[in-house]
Structure 1
């Protein structure tokens, strides 16, 4: 061994999953040194610098190891994604406070089989050996002093007692299950008995899939927050050197995670107030304390997702208080299934206004409460009560149809359904008047079916209908003179009563619009504006033009010049009507004359009726008397 570059005489091969300090103790024992500090003195290092990354090459040179071999064994500092340093432990990243440097723990049975200090014993939460099913020891039973890693031999206390002869107390099965999970996550091959311990405990399956660092945090959290089936308001303090604390935490964690998730729900349920309180006064932070804070603010989201998921399920099933919008930690499904719902969300569920919801709460038709929050008052309703009210409302709603359904059934378009309903052909209601969804018209299903049956029961033959003549389709009649409102409604009522019967049907138009009627029959139902009670017959412009043997624009010109008086009360979408008596009287007295025909007729100028057509570029039309003053037709030379 050179004085400048000291090295040990031979190499001692490190074992997988061996503690770095245990390896130094084993190397010192193999070379006959009194303890592991001798290796540090040979390397010229202090005992606190043995695992520092910058001194790895020096200590590796002394041990005749490659620097990477020594670094792989050490619990060196590694940088995580956050601002804190973690420690590398057998290829896993764990927090520094998970390591036990102060009070060495050993399993006497393991030392008896093989004098090796395993890295697993350096974890603060490891308190039992899953292989030999016994507790670890951290103090000498003879002298009562705690074990130190700087003792002369790995298997002996400083007082000389052989630790391999110390009897170990058996560990309970629930604790062994937790210890077996930690061993498995560390990379230790489990015995068949250890695997049976895990299966018998029925632990949460997410624990078996967790990485070592996550598993240690979850066990520490569950064990320090639980206490004999309860959840503590504050976590129990824990030091990694405290063996008795590690035993208690392991058993509490096993109790909370076994037969998952029943014990967890029971522990949460015990924290709820025994007596029913005002739902607005129930507070998660006040009831669950540190557990609630750690679950949503401290524990990483990925590793504690199953805990939060079960907590949310418990909240949905058991929590009787309000869940206001500031509970941003809960998923949307929790808000959607909570026992209480605010009026703002209730109006979306009930499809009515929040003011109507509050009126129903005041009328005690829905169970709810009013909560004073700062300067405003919130209304909250019980979801169950709201659901019952909606179910009752929807049972009434089943008797009605929406406008698209009516349009599909009757073959009508746009606002025609509303127009005939307003005119009295179909009974209807508006949404707000019956607590139905607002701004929507609902039509009585019974009336719609009655109208459809009235048209279909006549079963008229299918005809090759082209255009209106002696027969006219209801669609053309609506467009020409009936209109969408009272006229069409009166026709529908007449068909329902049986006083009007369709004589045919065409496939050109859907529903009732394809039924054919006699033109003279439908004329009796045309709307008459301000003269609905008149028994006089009326003609529209097209019909008047047919009688006079002129174009409709000529009739329009005659109305414009005051020759014909139009029936008052005309509205858009309806035909303009002229009394039939006026049209027939004019046809008796006048005939239209062309310019060529009028040049040789012996008629005085005052008897000629010259009508200018208002449309630009249309000129004028000339009417001459149908008979002369002597009662004979005009004579042509």
Structure 2
């Protein structure tokens, strides 16, 4: 139960003034002492205001006794939990573990000054400073004295409510305890914290002032731990006597500026391990950073680590959890380039090699490749089309595409050779070639009179000589038909096309014509030509031509098993069996790869059979 206002007034008629910096539990100790009560024997705690509640900032039960205005003033200097799960003290936020509740550290010099200022103790003692509740503080920057939490006579901890304002449970005066002095430069971190809480002159710092005080303390501890104990050390495992030096090391690094913080983080990379594994290289510092909640400290540290990553070209895989964009925006790793190309690792290496971007590619997780070049390459690889797609685009057959490719008119893209094992073409380059063929031909709604499309004219003239004549300027396009694509849209005059045809009485024929005349496949004709049964030459363009007379004589004398099988409506195997049974053996047997692939018989012998 909470005591009624009049009951509180009857029990505590004397109200000493509240001293700035005094928490609720300290003021209640002075209030009980001023009214002649011994806190331990008083019935006040049993009336709804236990000391544990006051130590945790739950002071609503004091409003009927002291009034709301006084309680609100006391609350400012009392650690109390807020909705975010943190602790608010004097306008600063802390983590719950950074605040002492049950026991209290104190400065012997501060209490001795209070007694000296008020020897008769008529104005009350300023026995507790609000910053004494901060667990990480180790010394008083006002007197340069190490804080203590034990009685110098009985050795008990200074538990709140177990004694008076500056007296122990055993009755010893804590202001008369021994003093352990420390150098002022050794407590610079403590002076900064106390200054932020108003207990000492403020020591501004451009980096730490941007952060809540609890985050600033955590940063000093973690950074100092890495600098003094190594990257894999944990703050909780650092011995108590070494923690002040640890926090001071972190404070000194931060005080020198953001660049020195980055240098301290970069120093952690000097240990063994791959730079690509940032989590391992930074050790416990990275684990603590990755667990930080979203806020100013997390964003500020992410920027510092990102700068370190940028300078050292470290991989930032999974970095998206901490920053909105990669720290090295203009470069990516080879592993990330693999995702851009949507290809396997070997193909990715081949593409980068073909484009001249193979820079430190063996370290596949390091950002060493220009992002813009990779994006350009990925866009180009994505728009490449194969032979069938190109044939459909320009309106000819895939066989014609292969002829033009073999003749060097439509060249496969060099990047396509690395991106795929099949030939592919760049539509942009194809459009450029088609534009050169079209020249300055006007765009028309209907085809011009006495004209034919290049695709149609190629059936009688040949796709290769016709396209080469267009590119060389020997033929000029007379128009481009709107709505059509590729070679179907480009029209040429039909007059004068006969000169591009090979004369029928020419003594030489091409491979396709010779193959059709003999009724043989191309892979069967090649061994026949290699054996010298038919004379061949090469024209000015390097194409092989066959002697027409030799082809006619060869056709009249010899017949292939393919032609016999087609004429008799059976298989080649059955034909061979019938001829062998009749005692007829091949006149020509060719085995170019150690296996008989071409069998030719005398035509007259086969007729008699």
Whether TM-score is above 0.5 comes out as yes
Q: SS in structure 1 opposite 2:27? A: helix
Q: Is the 8 A contact 1:463 1:504 kept in 2?
A: yes
Correspondence 1:294-443 to 2 at 5 A: 294-297=288-291, 299-302=292-295, 303-315=297-309, 317-318=311-312, 345-349=336-340, 352-357=343-348, 381=364, 383=366, 414-416=393-395, 422-424=402-404, 426-430=409-413, 434-436=417-419, 441-442=424-425
Residues 508 and 367 of structure 1, relative CA distance in 2, 3 Å threshold: closer
Partner of 2:62: 60
Q: Is the 8 A contact 1:51 1:75 kept in 2?
A: no
Equivalenced residue count is 471
Q: 1:198 aligns with which of 199, 204, 208?
A: 204
Within 2, Cα distance between the matches of 1:3 and 1:504?
109
| 1:171 and 2:184 aligned | yes
Q: Is the 8 A contact 1:128 1:135 kept in 2?
A: yes
Please report how far the alpha carbon of residue 263 of structure 1 lies from its aligned counterpart in structure 2 after TM superposition.
Answer: 3.9
Q: Is the 8 A contact 2:220 2:247 kept in 1?
A: yes
Partner of 1:290: 284
Please report how far the alpha carbon of residue 251 of structure 1 lies from its aligned counterpart in structure 2 after TM superposition.
Answer: 0.8
User: What's the TM-score once normalised by structure 1's chain length?
Assistant: 0.53
Partner of 1:250: 247
Partner of 2:228: 228
Q: 2:129 aligns with which of 118, 124, 141?
A: 118
Within 2, Cα distance between the matches of 1:260 and 1:484?
78
Q: Is the 8 A contact 1:50 1:59 kept in 2?
A: no
Structure 2 spans left out of the alignment, 5+ residues: 119-124, 386-390, 511-609
Please report how far the alpha carbon of residue 449 of structure 1 lies from its aligned counterpart in structure 2 after TM superposition.
Answer: 6.2
Residues 46 and 95 of structure 1, relative CA distance in 2, 3 Å threshold: farther
Residues 74 and 50 of structure 1, relative CA distance in 2, 3 Å threshold: farther
| 1:23 and 2:14 aligned | no
Please report how far the alpha carbon of residue 342 of structure 1 lies from its aligned counterpart in structure 2 after TM superposition.
Answer: 6.7
Q: 1:180 aligns with which of 185, 188, 192?
A: 192
Within 2, Cα distance between the matches of 1:361 and 1:507?
40
Residues 183 and 230 of structure 1, relative CA distance in 2, 3 Å threshold: same
Within 1, Cα distance between the matches of 2:472 and 2:59?
107
Within 2, Cα distance between the matches of 1:50 and 1:29?
15
Within 1, Cα distance between the matches of 2:11 and 2:138?
36
| 1:138 and 2:148 aligned | yes
Q: SS in structure 2 opposite 1:124? A: coil
Within 1, Cα distance between the matches of 2:460 and 2:10?
111
Please report how far the alpha carbon of residue 296 of structure 1 lies from its aligned counterpart in structure 2 after TM superposition.
Answer: 2.5
Q: 2:256 aligns with which of 244, 248, 259?
A: 259
Higher helix share: 2
Please report how far the alpha carbon of residue 50 of structure 1 lies from its aligned counterpart in structure 2 after TM superposition.
Answer: 1.7
Q: SS in structure 2 opposite 1:226? A: helix
Cα deviation digits, residues 88-129 of structure 1 (max 9, x gap): 545656405521643432363984789533212221223456
Q: SS in structure 2 opposite 1:126? A: coil
Residues 354 and 75 of structure 1, relative CA distance in 2, 3 Å threshold: same
Residues 171 and 317 of structure 1, relative CA distance in 2, 3 Å threshold: same
Q: 2:472 aligns with which of 497, 500, 507?
A: 497
Cα deviation digits, residues 72-96 of structure 1 (max 9, x gap): 4695775866xxx765545656405
Within 2, Cα distance between the matches of 1:267 and 1:124?
25
Residues 381 and 418 of structure 1, relative CA distance in 2, 3 Å threshold: farther
Partner of 2:13: 9
Partner of 1:620: none
Partner of 1:629: none
Q: SS in structure 1 opposite 2:495? A: helix
Q: Is the 8 A contact 1:120 1:183 kept in 2?
A: no
Residues 45 and 439 of structure 1, relative CA distance in 2, 3 Å threshold: farther
Q: Is the 8 A contact 1:12 1:27 kept in 2?
A: yes
Residues 167 and 28 of structure 1, relative CA distance in 2, 3 Å threshold: farther
Please report how far the alpha carbon of residue 254 of structure 1 lies from its aligned counterpart in structure 2 after TM superposition.
Answer: 0.2
Q: Is the 8 A contact 1:423 1:489 kept in 2?
A: yes
Within 2, Cα distance between the matches of 1:340 and 1:451?
37
Within 2, Cα distance between the matches of 1:485 and 1:41?
119
Please report how far the alpha carbon of residue 182 of structure 1 lies from its aligned counterpart in structure 2 after TM superposition.
Answer: 6.1
Please report how far the alpha carbon of residue 211 of structure 1 lies from its aligned counterpart in structure 2 after TM superposition.
Answer: 3.2
Residues 58 and 4 of structure 1, relative CA distance in 2, 3 Å threshold: same
Within 2, Cα distance between the matches of 1:279 and 1:359?
25
Q: Is the 8 A contact 1:495 1:501 kept in 2?
A: yes
Residues 484 and 296 of structure 1, relative CA distance in 2, 3 Å threshold: farther
Within 2, Cα distance between the matches of 1:4 and 1:341?
72
Q: 1:469 aligns with which of 449, 453, 456?
A: 449
Residues 6 and 43 of structure 1, relative CA distance in 2, 3 Å threshold: farther
Residues 435 and 331 of structure 1, relative CA distance in 2, 3 Å threshold: farther
Q: SS in structure 2 opposite 1:138? A: coil
Partner of 1:69: 71
Partner of 1:105: 106
Q: Is the 8 A contact 1:341 1:381 kept in 2?
A: yes
User: What's the TM-score once normalised by structure 2's chain length?
Assistant: 0.55
